[in-house]
Chain A
């Protein structure tokens, strides 16, 4: 949204005629509002449907529901494994993100700062990961996981997510760290800080905006991933949210109301994270950390 707003409004308004400028502005607004609607409608319908019964959903899909009717939510809470799925998703996403950000930042720091032969190659090696169509490798991956004995466990998911998340993270972080003045680290070194302390006390606060970007970049696809759990996870107790919610869709009948309230609940954490981090996120995109 922000990006499109910026690119549209930066169209040069060459005409000195005020009314043309005004019309153009109005046009931009109309486009933006339309865009907002297009994006919000499905979400709103999802939330509405979360409070409706199957019959209501099909009879009047756009009507405003009775928000005090919490039967779908209670059903989710009491009759499904939703909480279990939610916990699994939190665990898998959390551990993956932690590993991606720690390993990614450390790798990026080394590539950006330490002079050693092959540092350029290692960066290219990481970035090459971006070009791999991972899903094509699903059969070898499956065999690999089986041989490692981690099929049907969260480890299988975490390993894959970390591997897919590292390229972007290393790429973003390396670029960002290179823009930071290396004299800061030299100053800390003179002050007697160890490399670990420099990383922790000097670099980490400075690279936080870039970490937020890398984090958001990765957290959404990992949280929403359906494919890898479908392939690697069989036990119901280990399923993540998208996979678990899919099992709400029965072969013959589906309780759409329950499914939609599950979906609503599952996007909530991401939206909250987005809102909490959006300030940092925008800061990080628009300005460097120093000066």
Chain B
């Protein structure tokens, strides 16, 4: 039973503030993904949780115990490093026994755990090999195996798939999801790939510049992003953000046209940022009619889907999901309409979500 509680965690390297007060409550058996752009502090936060770097300020609790000053090895945590960090001079078997033996387990138990991990990760044939004799995916599995033999209550993974090719990536991703269920512990997974985050996570922590932008389930993040950063970070192609003006039940852009979005935010700001995902927009060919006027830039054909990029009269680019058989000539005039109740509203000033 491990639930984690991060309370106002700050981290400073000499004079640089990297984390500015992180508050998170992570439940037992959850798979939580930290996601965010490069340099936002994901690895730093993970290393604080692991105990590899000291916490500058704030408290870190695990299962009701304050952990700030507990040594890494006593936290019941195992970590898979981005570079795998396999001991180069030891073979796979020794790599996996090193930690297990230090836990003071007897030989029979160590053997049993290694056999189990080797079977689960299909490492049996590789036990006598050195890390340099393994492929990237195999090293990856050894690194995970080394973590698993310690039977951690909390497993930390730092961008474990970043060195793998696309095909192997989705395969190992499935394996990790399955492992998490099989082990039944808590897992924290770091990535900067939002697809990985969406597919794996029970809940996602979106980080940006040392702050948590939002913490919620993939569905919450997608359907109710807390601010424009989360809105554009989650979802592909990106959500388009439009500066629009409210006028009764219509919103519009001067010189471009106006639309009826359906439900409007309760707040009565006139100037709002409207976020539209590709699936919230419809385009109809033609110069005149309802909606915003725009011209087609190009169409991306993906087989089961197509994305058309159109440029509004005010110069802004919007991506639109279409059926694959739609064909627009480049530069053809179109009208852009919104599906009802699909738009997101954010405050122009604070960039925060405006509740309906």
Distance (whole angstroms) from the CB of A114 to the closest CB of chain B: 13
- Judged by a CB distance under 8 angstroms, whether B112 is at the interface is no
Partner of B77, one of A187, A190, A201, A290: A190
- Which residues of A are found within 8 Å of B103, using beta-carbon distances? 192
CA distance A232 to B94 in the complex (A): 50
Chain B, residues 48-87, CB within 8 Å of chain A (1/0): the string is 0010100000000000000000001110011101110111
Partner of A184, one of B73, B82, B87, B99: B87
- The A interface, classified by DSSP as helix, strand, loop or mixed, is helix
Distance (whole angstroms) from the CB of A289 to the closest CB of chain B: 7
- Judged by a CB distance under 8 angstroms, whether A147 is at the interface is no
Given contacts A191-B102, A191-B150, A192-B99, contact A186 B85 (CB under 8 A): yes
Q: Is the CB of A186 within 8 A of B132?
A: no
Distance (whole angstroms) from the CB of A244 to the closest CB of chain B: 41
CA distance A206 to B74 in the complex (A): 26
A289 to B, closest residue via Cβ:
B88
Distance (whole angstroms) from the CB of A207 to the closest CB of chain B: 11
Q: Is the CB of B99 within 8 A of A181?
A: no
Partner of A191, one of B74, B83, B98, B132: B98
- Judged by a CB distance under 8 angstroms, whether A178 is at the interface is no
Distance (whole angstroms) from the CB of B30 to the closest CB of chain A: 21
Given contacts A206-B88, A206-B89, A291-B132, contact A190 B83 (CB under 8 A): no
Q: Is the CB of B72 within 8 A of A187?
A: no
Q: Is the CB of B81 within 8 A of A191?
A: no
Distance (whole angstroms) from the CB of A165 to the closest CB of chain B: 26
- Judged by a CB distance under 8 angstroms, whether A269 is at the interface is no
Query: How many B residues touch the partner, as a band?
Result: 20 to 34
Chain A, residues 176-193, CB within 8 Å of chain B (1/0): the string is 000001011011111111
- Which residues of B are found within 8 Å of A206, using beta-carbon distances? 88-89
CA distance A197 to B52 in the complex (A): 17
Distance (whole angstroms) from the CB of B216 to the closest CB of chain A: 29
CA distance A186 to B44 in the complex (A): 13
Partner of A188, one of B50, B78, B98: B98
Q: Is the CB of A189 within 8 A of B73?
A: yes
CA distance A121 to B203 in the complex (A): 47
- Which residues of B are found within 8 Å of A186, using beta-carbon distances? 47, 50, 52, 79, 81, 85
Partner of B85, one of A183, A193, A205, A289: A183
Partner of A187, one of B47, B74, B85, B89: B85
A208 to B, closest residue via Cβ:
B89
Q: Is the CB of B88 within 8 A of A191?
A: no
A184 to B, closest residue via Cβ:
B85
CA distance A189 to B78 in the complex (A): 10
CA distance A18 to B79 in the complex (A): 57
CA distance A290 to B83 in the complex (A): 12
- Which residues of A are found within 8 Å of B85, using beta-carbon distances? 181, 183-184, 186-187
Q: Is the CB of B79 within 8 A of A190?
A: yes
B158 to A, closest residue via Cβ:
A183
A206 to B, closest residue via Cβ:
B89
A181 to B, closest residue via Cβ:
B83
A202 to B, closest residue via Cβ:
B87
- Which residues of A are found within 8 Å of B73, using beta-carbon distances? 189-193
Chain A, residues 52-69, CB within 8 Å of chain B (1/0): the string is 000000000000000000
Q: Is the CB of A191 within 8 A of B99?
A: yes
Q: Is the CB of B50 within 8 A of A190?
A: yes
B78 to A, closest residue via Cβ:
A190
CA distance A186 to B52 in the complex (A): 7
- Please report B residues at the A interface, Cβ cutoff 8 Å: 47, 50, 52, 72-74, 77-79, 81-83, 85-89, 98-99, 102-103, 132, 146, 150
